[in-house]
Amino acid sequence: MRLWVSLTLLAAVLPVGLSLALTPAAAPKDNAQEPAKDPATIRASYRRPDVVPFPSTNPYSEAKSALGRMLFFDPLLSRSKTHSCASCHKPSLSWADGLPRAIGEDPKGLPIRSPTLIDVAFFEPLGWDGKFKDLESVAFGPILSPMNLNMTEPELIARLAAIPGYVDAFNHAFGDGAITRPRIEQSLATFERSIVAGEAPFDRWIKGDESAISASAKQGFELFNGKGRCSSCHSGPSFSDGSFQDIGTAKGHDIGRGRFFPTSAKLKYAFKTPTLRDVARRAPYMHDGSVATLEDVIELYNRGGIERPSRSPDIRPLSLTTDDKKDLIAFLQTLTATAPPVAGIPKLPR
């Protein structure tokens, strides 16, 4: 069961650059259907929701979210006390890090790119290969990973318990000051669910402001939903249906979701369809940071990738013209929120 908390309520208490002018929309999960033919219906299917889903097992509370926000930005979560969640999910870089591969405590780095956290509330499972069943279960992945934050659970709990401000914050959020792994997971997840896409020119256009985006971008939106076939995976308000797909690029042992489903022909080389919110600000692209620019992304889709049994039927040579490519990029650029997130580092208890 999910409880839906209004974005306007979250905007009042959270630092993440939300617009108060959200329009009512259907629950986002219902929008991930096949796009209809009628242009007005297609546009409506991308309307930002005005509520965020919270699981009934971890309902929203302001105190939990405030605690999660402190934990998210706190370098005490790393062995060297120099890295935090925000080192790789930086608000100023659309909650990613701008690197082809993430770098944590181990200077050699991780084999994958840090994804944005924009709109994570709307997707499960998480991770490029879907290894995390929900947001709560992500937190101790990076915390315990020797390459990432390289902590242990007892050490982290001891560090936090030594700081009266944290004991107070846990008390405030959970009714007593006990610091436990599930409480850390729940607080971080509650904060992360507040990280939602800010209003972009595209949103103003679908609400009726014809001057919000260019003619080229409007043409690009049509290609996105038509000839380009993009919307068969990048659908709904977050521009993702949350599905795992082989777009014909990964090679060798990099088999993505196939790792968990070794007998599935379709999931070999399948990775999570990422949101396209703020995409123009989030280069380089893909799970391995292998594609440098949006122009290169479009070229890749135009070629259609490696033909093999796992490749999605929606990935195939597209015969895009030079103008088509420009229009698609102009459209993708309209998905960048105009007010950048204002979340700064909160005051950390010490």
CA angle 301, 213, 19 (to 5 degrees): 100
Judged by CB under 6 A, which of 58, 87, 238, 336 binds ligand HEC? 87
- Does position 242 interact with ligand HEC (CB under 6 A)? The reply is no
Quote the least distance from Cβ 250 to ligand HEC, whole Å.
6
Whether residue 136 contacts residue 123, with contact meaning beta carbons closer than 8 Å, is answered with no
Quote the least distance from Cβ 169 to ligand HEC, whole Å.
16
- Does position 117 interact with ligand HEC (CB under 6 A)? The reply is yes
Rounded Cα distance, 8 and 187, in Å: 20
- Does position 279 interact with ligand HEC (CB under 6 A)? The reply is yes
DSSP SS3 for 345: coil
- Does position 90 interact with ligand HEC (CB under 6 A)? The reply is no
Judged by CB under 6 A, which of 121, 212, 286, 337 binds ligand HEC? 286
CA-CA-CA-CA torsion sign (137, 138, 143, 144): positive
Quote the least distance from Cβ 288 to ligand HEC, whole Å.
7
- Binding to ligand HEC in span 318-337, by CB under 6 A: 328
- Binding to ligand HEC in span 165-224, by CB under 6 A: 188, 192
Quote the least distance from Cβ 87 to ligand HEC, whole Å.
5
CA distances from 342 to 21, 61, 273, 285, 333 (A): 17, 21, 27, 24, 20
What's the count of helices (H) and strands (E) in the chain, helices before strands?
12, 4
Choose the binding region for ligand HEC from 20-28, 49-57, 207-215, 309-317 (rule: CB under 6 A): 309-317
**Residue 223 — φ and ψ, nearest 5°?**
-65, -40
Rounded Cα distance, 123 and 2, in Å: 13
Partners of 52 in the β-ladder: 5
DSSP SS3 for 281: helix
- Does position 100 interact with ligand HEC (CB under 6 A)? The reply is no
Choose the binding region for ligand HEC from 39-47, 108-116, 165-173, 202-210 (rule: CB under 6 A): 108-116
Choose the binding region for ligand HEC from 28-36, 167-175, 244-252, 340-348 (rule: CB under 6 A): 244-252
Structure tokens at 169: 């914050």
- DSSP output for 144-192: H-TTTT---HHHHHHHHHT-HHHHHHHHHHHSS----HHHHHHHHHHHH
Quote the least distance from Cβ 52 to ligand HEC, whole Å.
14
Query: Interface residues with ligand HEC (CB under 6 A)?
Result: 77, 83, 85, 87-89, 102-104, 110, 112, 114-115, 117, 120, 126-129, 131, 135, 138-139, 142-143, 148-149, 188, 192, 228-230, 232-234, 245, 247, 249-250, 271, 273-274, 276, 279, 282, 285-287, 297, 301, 312, 314-315, 328
